[in-house]
Every structure is written in C-alpha cells, then in structure tokens.
Structure 1
Amino acid sequence: MITLNRRNFLVTIPIALTACSAGADELLSREAENPASSSALPLMVVYKTPTCGCCGDWIDHLRGEGFGVRVHDVADTTPMAQRLGVPNTMRSCHTAEIDGYAIEGHVPAREIHRLLTERPEAAGLAVPGMPLGSPGMEMGDRRDAYAVLLFDRSGRIENYAQYPAS
C-alpha cells in the first residue's frame, strides 16, 4: 500500500494529468510492460506514421533493452526531424527524441545507451534508410552492413558505430 504524503501527492499530479490526455491508455499500458525503464532511463518519445510495422518492431527492441517509450502516430515525421536538426540525407521512417538528442531510424539500443553515457556535443544519432538486419528490420538471416552516424546541427557527421553484414 502506498502512503499518500506530500512527495507522493506531487508525483501523482503529473501522472493524473497524463492519464487525462489523448492516448493515455496506450501509454500507460505500454509503460506497464517495462516498469523499471521509466525510472532507470529518460523517456524516449517516438514519432512514426500509424501504418509503419518496422517502427513498432524497433520500439519493441527499445523496450526490451530497458527504455520507456511514448509513441505518437503522426501523418508526417518531417517537421519533428527538422525541429531536432536531423539532416535530410539521414532520414528514415521514424524520429525519436531522448534527453535532448534526436534518434533517427533503426538505431540499436546499445548505441543509444552509449550516447546517454558519453553525452557528446551532438544533435543525435541516425541510421539512414532502413538497412536489413538493423533493429526492427530483421527479416530472415540477411543482415546488411550499416553505420550509426553521429550528427550535430552545424552539419558535422561522423561514424559512431559500424555493424557488419552477415
């Protein structure tokens, strides 16, 4: 049983307000699948189109790696990617934001954990396109080689991690 003291009450107010917002039932049920994630890591907010199945698979990958995820289905992710400074050449099918960083495309959770630990001066990470074998794009045994790229708002792009083909 939880005792309602001042601290618990103040924590409850934002939760209650969230529950009143659109889509709260889905958010609460998804966060309940991984309750430790919401306190261990910052919440990741993902913007995707409603019909994208691989985006859902990527979100499942993140949740399996301890991330709490809030999902927003939108008609077009371009405005969010532009707001977060994602270069057009690095675009993919979904855009996410975590702790001030943009995450574009099928970036492995391992690299997001590393980003949050190292905290480089950057706008975010991207896996351009939709390479087979990247998280959410697993289709059989085929795995294309791909790079996870670190980018900043001035246009600087560097290789952050490399994943080989198999």
Structure 2
Amino acid sequence: MTKTSRRTLLGGSLGGAALLAVGSPEPRAQATSSLIPSRGTLPSGIQSGDVTPRGAMLWARSDRPGRMLVELSTGRRGGRRTHKGPWATPKTDLTAKLELKGLRPGREYEYRIQFEDTDGRLGKEEVGHFSTPSLGSAPQSFVWTGDTAGQGYGINPDLEGMVAYRAMHALRPDFLIHSGDNI
C-alpha cells in the first residue's frame, strides 16, 4: 500500500475542486454565447418604391416582431432624420412599410432600415438609395428584367453570379422595372 502525505492529499483535493468550479473552457464559452441575444435581421432585404417628386414608400421584413426605424439623409453632408415606422408583427408577416412625405424633388436620398424589438435591442441595418424625380420634364431611362433566376438560369458562378444586373447598373438608369416574384 502506498502512503500519501497530507500535503499531496490537500493539494490534489484543491486542484480537483478548482477544476470542477472552472470546468473546461469549451462548454463555458458555449454557455456564455447562448446568453447573448442575437440581433434581428432583414431576411428579405429592404425595398424602396412608388417614388414621386415629393415622396417614397420604404418596405422591409424582419425575422422577429419589432418596430421599423428608418434613418433618412440627403448625401454625406445632409441632415439625418429618424422616422419611427409601424410595428412588424406575425399578423403583418413581420413586414412593415413607411410612406415618406415632404421630400425634395430631384434629390438623391440614402436610407437605413432596422427594427427595434420590444426590449429596445436594435437589429442589423441595411442601407438603400433612391432618387426623387424633378418637377420639370426631363428624359428618363429605365431597364427591365423579369424572372432572372428561374430554374437556375441567369446565374453564372464562373462570372461571379448574375452579370446582367451588373450590366444594367452600369447604365445608371433612373429606375428598374422587375417583373418576377420572390419565392
């Protein structure tokens, strides 16, 4: 029989107790990260439409209930205003839209949309741009497309995806007409 000294027994006991108290690093990291709530996202992106010389409609869909917040500005030096939109709820399929009024004709606008949940946590934001048409008559240009990815066509991974959109964007049209659906 091996004799164990009192010092060895106490040292081993303290070491074992410390290991039990601390645990292994990996499960502790997992437990900590699960306590941090995730931020809401915009799974369907953001949209602007029905743009007139003095108004526009903004739309977004959240992944959870929350109030739509829109920050609107006119360029880098333009003042920023925050608009509180409606609540996105399961009844609205977590979508919300906000009609902007009182805009200036012939201006470029930048907007940021995010949702705030009932606990005041802000979700991730996305940035969009639109331009209001001028009041006077001016030439307009547009591009048109439809059902660009049906049955997998229209996407060429060798050319980094949907090259038709890059070509349309390079034309800098006043607007895009997209006939299709979001499935």
- Flag whether TM exceeds 0.5 (same fold): no
Larger Rg: 2
Q: Give the TM-score category using the shorter length.
A: under 0.3
The structure carrying a bigger helix percent of its residues is 1
The structure carrying a bigger strand percent of its residues is 2
TM-score calculated relative to the size of structure 2: 0.23
